[in-house]
Amino acid sequence: MQLHQNHNPNNETQHWNGFKDGDPASFEYLYKTHSAGLYNYGSKFTKDKDLIKECIQDLFVGLWTNRNSVGNPDHVKNYLYKSFRHAIFKKTFHLSKNETYEETENYSFQVVLNVEETLINNERQLQVSEQLQNALAKLTARQREAIFLKFYEQLSYEEIAEVMGITVKAGYKIMARSLDYLRNNLSKDDLLLLYLILHLKLIN
């Protein structure tokens, strides 16, 4: 799966305003632009494909139904990802009575790396893939999610904070701890390879 192209914020704002005015073409643009990325994001929380599709459908049906009352987000993509994340949490995780989805640490977020044949020879592929996967598995779900949003979705720390419902300072801290752990537990060669893979792609 290729990295998503950066969307023109001004163009997205125009389509968002068009959708709010009841323009089906603008609504279709928003759906087609973001549904695949949302599905891939959702697949990191759960392998239930029907549930992921249901959450995406519920999100966009809700947007269309409430288009007269929804606000004007600064970043359309961040708004959609945060809303979708909330929907996934509500449907897949049993939160305590007084706990919000932003506060829970007990959730799953799985990232599977694709070791490209062009990066290493075939003899080392399995070994390196297992080493990198084991290193990522030692991170918390929140750390893996931050890495996914940073390298795959190419979000800024401010945008990561918005999507995950945390402060920007917390986003920096999560990323710093993640990278420190990886630096301390991987060889220099494997760490470099990991950075290359993260910049290239993360797949289901």
Is the CATH number 1.10.1740 carried by domain 9-92?
Answer: yes
Predicted TM-score of the model (pTM): 0.74
Give the pLDDT confidence of 136-188 residue by residue, as tens digits.
Answer: 888 899 999 998 898 888 899 999 999 999 999 999 999 999 888 888 887 77
Domains 9-92 and 122-200 share a fold: no
Average pLDDT over residues 118-128: 56
Domain extents in the chain:
9-92, 122-200
Distance separating alpha carbons of residues 165 and 48, to the nearest angstrom:
24
pLDDT top residue among 197 and 1 = 197
Topology (CATH level 3) of domain 122-200: Arc Repressor Mutant, subunit A (1.10.10)
The full DSSP string for 153-200 is: S---HHHHHHHHT--HHHHHHHHHHHHHHHHHHS-HHHHHHHHHHHHH
pLDDT for the residue 124: 58
Indicate whether 202 pLDDT > 50. Answer: no
Distance separating alpha carbons of residues 196 and 172, to the nearest angstrom:
21
